[in-house]
Amino acid sequence: MNDISFEDFLKVELRVGEVVSAEIFAAARKPAYILHIDFGQEIGILKSSAQITVRYQPDDLIGKQVVAVVNFPAKQIGPIQSQCLVTGFHDENGAVALCVPDKLVPKGAKLL
């Protein structure tokens, strides 16, 4: 484990967004979805490529709140620019379980 300072942690913008669309990312090398996530008026809608196909179906993701890093530089993934990094945890088989708030919170809320 590598220690970081609290100031370093504060630089990471972990925000809550609501998935407004999810589709199969057919051009991805590994199974993935393209998510459009609404982070509220301040940030807007950002796009993300997410390898979460084992545990989730596209229709089940619509309206779901997720936690994502919104201040990484955009990353080219095949034909799309991933603008945020959706967070999650791998289970014992490597499938990703999304990191989500356990209660509804405002879009764009920052993890403190």
94 backbone φψ class: left, alpha, beta (φ>0; ψ -120 to 50): left
Residue-wise pLDDT tens digits, 23-59: 999 999 999 999 999 999 999 999 999 999 999 999 9
Q: Compute the half-sphere exposure of residue 84: CA atoms within 13 Å on the CB side of its CA.
A: 27
Q: Where along the chain do its domains lie?
A: 18-98
77 pLDDT above the threshold of 90: yes
pTM summary value: 0.94
Do residues 88 and 68 touch, judged by C-beta distance below 8 A? Answer: no
Highest CATH level, class, for 18-98: mainly beta
| Residue entry with tokens 């080219």 | 76
pLDDT at 112 over 90: no
Average pLDDT on 77-94 reads 96
